Structure 1
Amino acid sequence: MRLGNVFAIGLIAVTGMASPDMHGSAKKVGFQAPGFYRITVGEVEVTVLSDGTVPLPMDQLLTHTTPALVDHTLTASFIKEPYATSVNCFLLNFGSRLVLIDTGAGLTLGPTLNHLMANLRASGYEPDQIDDIFLTHMHIDHEGGLTSNGIRAFPNAVLHADGREADYWLNPENEKRALDSAARHPSDQQAKFVENNFVETRKAIQPYIDAAHFKWFHGGEELLPGLRAISAAGHTPGHTMFALESDGARILFWGDIVHVAEVQLTTPQATILFDSDPTQARAERFKMLKEVGSQRDLIAGSHLPFPGVGHIRLSQQDFTFLPLNFIGEPSNDK
C-alpha cells in the first residue's frame, strides 16, 4: 500500500473525515493572504502595504531597449507578459507619529489594485490614525488612494510633496498643454498618459489643498527626525526618495528608480514610457544602483515584487536584487 493511501486511511480513522483529495467539492478561495509585511529599522517599525498588482505590457512600455530583448529577459526569469507590477506603499511608525509613503492607485488603474485600505486595516491601523503622507511623486499609482469619491481618505493626515513636483503637476497651464498635446496626437501613449495624470492628480490633491492639509518640501530637507528627502528627478520633475535612519540602521525608499527589476538591473539603460526625462531617469538609476550596491544600503522599491525590500548586489556587468530574508514573529507559546 502506498504511503499516500496509508495517510488517507489514517486520517479517516482518527478524525472520521475523508481527506480533501477524496472529494472534489472544495471551492477555490481565489484571494491571497493580507498584503502587509513588517520589519524594524532601528527604533522605527516599517510596514510594507500592498495596493495590489497591475498587469502591464512591459515589452511595449520599456524604452531604450527592444520588445524582443524585454520578452527574452522576462522569459529567462520565468515571467510571462503582461508583467504583474507590484504597487507598494510604506507605513512608518515612529512611536509618536504614523507616516505613510505613497497611497497606491485607488480606483484609477483597474480592479487588481485599490487594496491599500484593506491591508492597512489588516495590519492593525485605521486611516484616521495617519499623521503625514509623503509622496515620492505625483503619478496616479502613488496618489490615487488619497481620496475616495472626492473625499480625503486620510482625514487627519497632512499631505507632503516636493515643491518642483507640485509646481509641475498642479500648474493649470501645464495641464492645458498636456490636454492639447493629447488631442493633437491621439495615438501617442505617452501623451495620453500625461493628460490622464494631470486630471487625476488634480482630483487627488485638491481636497487636501482645500482643507489646508497640503505642504511641500525640498530635496535634502529633514522632514522628521531621522527621515530625509533626497531629490531623484528624472522619472518626474520632483521625483523623491526618502532615507530613514534610526539607531544606526538605514533604509532608502527609492520610489520608481526601478520598474522592472528583471530587465532594468541587467539593462539599466532601459527606461519606461512614464519617465518625464528618460535621460535623467537613466542617469539617476545608474547612480543609485552603484551607490546602494557599494554601500550595502537596505532599499524599498515601489514596484519591486512585494514586499520589495532587500539589497542590491553590484557586479562588474550588472546588478542583482536580493530580497530580504523573511523573519517570522516570535512564538506566543509559553
Structure 2
Amino acid sequence: MNPTPIARALLACTLLLGAAAQAAAPQVRTQAPGYYRMMLGEFEITALSDGTHPFPIDTVMTHIGPEQIARDLDQAGLRAPVQGSINAFLVNTGSKLILVDAGAGSLYGDCCGKLLDHLRAAGYRPEQVDEVLLTHLHKDHAGGIMAHGAPAFPNAVVRLSQAEADYWLTPANKAAAPAFLSSFFDSAAAAVAPYGKRLQPFGAFGRIESGIEALPAPGHTPGHAMYLVQSKGRKLLIWGDIVHVSAIQLPHPDATVKYDTSEADAQATRRRLLDMAASGQLTIGAAHIAFPGLGRIRASDGAYQWLPLNYDGAPAAD
C-alpha cells in the first residue's frame, strides 16, 4: 500500500534529521602524516615534512619592494603571512639510508619538529639512518639532528662541507657576525655536539656515496651545499635554501633574504640553478617549497615557474 502524504513527509524529516546528526561529527583538524614517496631509478625517495611556520616575508625579504611582494602573493593566490614548509628528503639506495637535512627539531616551537614522527609513519626508524647530509647549519635544517641533548639518529654519521662547519663552529665568527645570527651559532654547535667523531665534514665537493654527489651552492651560507642524487639516468637535485618563497623568488630571482651571507652570490647561484633545472629537466627537492617540495622548473620570459610532480599513488621503479 502506498504511504500517505503525511507518512511520506514524516519519513523525509526523519532522513533529514539523521543526515544532520551525522554531519555534526567533531572535526579532526589534524593533517595527514607528512611523508610522500617516489622512485628515482632504483632509489626510493621519501619526502618528510618537519612542519610549516609563518614566514616573515615583510621583515626578511630584501631586494624587492613591498608593493611587488603584494602583487606576487596575490598572483599566486596567497597572502601574508605565508606558511613556509620545512622539508627533508630520505634516500634509500638499497644499501644505505641517507637523510638530507633534518628539520628544526625543537628550535621553532610547536609548529615543527615533526620529522621523526613522519619518518616512523613512513615505515623507518631513526636508528636505521646511516648518514645525515646537511645542506647547511641553519636551525631549520640542522636542529633536528639532536633530540633532548642526544643524537636523534644514534647510528648516523653527519656530513656537511668543511667550509660550513668551520664558519658556524668557530666562536670568533659569531662575534663578527650580525647580532640576529648569534643564536644560529649557538644552535649549530649544540646540534652537532652529541655526534662527536661521527661529525665528518667533507673537505672537497664531489662523490659522497654511490649515486650521491655534493655540489657547492654558495651565497646563503659560506659553505652551503646541495646534493645531486642519480640512479638509472634519473636525477634529483636536493638544493637546500636556493628558494625560500617560490611565489616571490621564481618570478623575481634577484629577491634575497637577510639571512644570506652574500646576496650577490645567492642571486647568481639561484639564477644558475634555475636555468640548469629548466634546461636539464631535473627533479628538484626543495626545502621550503610547499610540501612535498618535489617538482620541476620551467623558464618563462626571464622568470620561472614551479611544476609540482604529478601525484603517484603507487610509486614503482622506472
TM value normalised by structure 1:
0.87
CA deviation map 1:1-30 (0-9, x unaligned)? xxxxxxxx89x88xxx933x4456422211
Tell me the equivalent position of 2:3: none
SS of 1:217's equivalent? Answer: coil
Q: Does 1:284 align with 2:269?
A: yes
The answer for the alignment partner of 1:198 in structure 2 is 185
State which of 215, 238, 242 in structure 2 corresponds to 1:257.
242
1:243 equivalent among 228, 253, 257: 228
Distance 1:230 1:219, change over 3 A: farther
1:219 is displaced (CA, Å) by: 4.8
Separation in structure 2 between the aligned mates of residue 23 and residue 251 of structure 1, nearest angstrom: 46
1:83 — aligned with what? 82
Equivalents in 2 of 1:123, 1:23: separation in Å?
A: 32
- Give secondary structure in 2 for the equivalent of 1:154: coil
- Tell me the residue number matched to 1:72: 71
**C-alpha distance in structure 2 between counterparts of 1:230 and 1:67, whole Å:** 33
Query: What is the aligned partner in structure 2 of residue 48 from structure 1?
Result: 47
**Secondary structure at 2:111's aligned position in 1?**
coil
Question: Deviation of residue 67 (structure 1)?
Answer: 1.6
Specify the alignment match of 1:189 in structure 2. Answer: none
Partners of 1:124 and 1:95 in 2: how far apart? 15
- Residue deviations 1:56-90, cap 9 Å, x none? 12122110001221122112211121110000000
- C-alpha displacement of 1:134: 0.2
Q: Is the 8 A contact 1:59 1:71 kept in 2?
A: no
Q: For the residues of structure 2 that align with 1:78 and 1:257, how far apart are their CA atoms?
A: 22
TM-aligned CA deviation for residue 172 of structure 1: 1.4
Question: Does the Cα contact within 8 Å between 1:146 and 1:205 map onto a contact in 2?
Answer: yes
> How many angstroms apart in 2 are the aligned matches of 1:63 and 1:289?
19
Q: Deviation string for 1:209-257 (max 9, x for gaps)? A: 2xx1110114531000010000001000011110011111111101111
Are 1:312 and 2:297 counterparts? yes
Percent of residue pairs identical: 41
Is the 2:251–2:303 contact (alpha carbons within 8 Å) kept by the matching residues of 1?
yes
Partner of 2:259: 274
Q: For structure 2, which runs of at least 5 residues remain unmatched after alignment? A: 1-10
2:218: which partner in 1?
A: 233
- CA distance, structure 1, for counterparts of residue 75 and residue 228 of structure 2: 33
C-alpha contact 1:266 1:319 (8 A) present in aligned 2: yes
Residue 317 of structure 1: CA displacement? Answer: 2.5
CA distance in 2: counterparts of 1:224 and 1:231, whole angstroms: 16
Query: In structure 2, what is the equivalent of residue 27 of structure 1?
Result: 26
Larger mean Cα displacement after TM superposition, 229-238 or 66-75: 66-75
Secondary structure of 1:293's counterpart equals helix
When the two chains are superposed, the root-mean-square deviation of aligned CA atoms in Å is 1.9
Per-residue CA shift, 1:95-140, capped at 9, x if unaligned?
Answer: 1110000000011112111110110000000100000000011100
Q: How many residue pairs get matched? A: 305
Secondary structure at 1:111's aligned position in 2?
helix
Question: Contact 2:50 / 2:114 at 8 angstroms: preserved in 1?
Answer: yes
Contact 2:41 2:231 in 1 (8 A): yes
C-alpha contact 1:219 1:231 (8 A) present in aligned 2 = no
Bigger drift between 21-30 and 309-318 goes to 21-30
Whether the aligned pair in 1 keeps the contact of 2:161 and 2:205 (CA below 8 Å) is: no
Secondary structure of the residue that 1:216 maps to in structure 2? Answer: coil
- Matched residues in 2 for 1:22 and 1:129: separation? 47
Alpha-carbon distance between aligned partners in 1 of 2:240 and 2:59, rounded to the nearest angstrom: 22
The farther-off stretch of 291-300 and 22-31 is: 22-31
2:8 maps to what in 1? none
Q: Deviations over 1:268-326 (max 9, x none)?
A: 00001111111100000000001110111111100011001111001222100000000
The answer for unaligned runs of 5 or more in structure 1 is 1-8, 183-191
Partner Cα distance (1:69, 1:110) in 2: 31
**Higher relative contact order (Cα pairs below 8 Å, separated by 6+ residues):** 2
Moved over 6 A (4+): none
Question: Which residue type is aligned with residue 227 of structure 1?
Answer: I
Q: 1:128 to 1:24 in 2, by over 3 A?
A: same
**Residue type of the alignment partner of 1:90:** F
Q: Does 1:18 align with 2:13?
A: no
3-state SS, counterpart of residue 272 of structure 2: helix
| Contact 1:309 1:323 (8 Å CA) reproduced | yes
Instruction: Give, in whole Å, the separation in 2 of the partners of 1:253 and 1:135.
Output: 10
- Residue matched to 2:124: 125
SS state at 1:245 partner: strand
Structure 2 match to 1:213: 198
The 3-state SS of whatever aligns with 1:18 is helix
Q: Quick one: distance in 1 between partners of 2:301 and 2:221?
A: 29
Asked if the contact 1:98–1:129 (Cα under 8 Å) also holds between the matched residues in 2, the reply is yes
> Are the counterparts in 1 of residues 41 and 234 from structure 2 also a CA contact under 8 Å?
yes
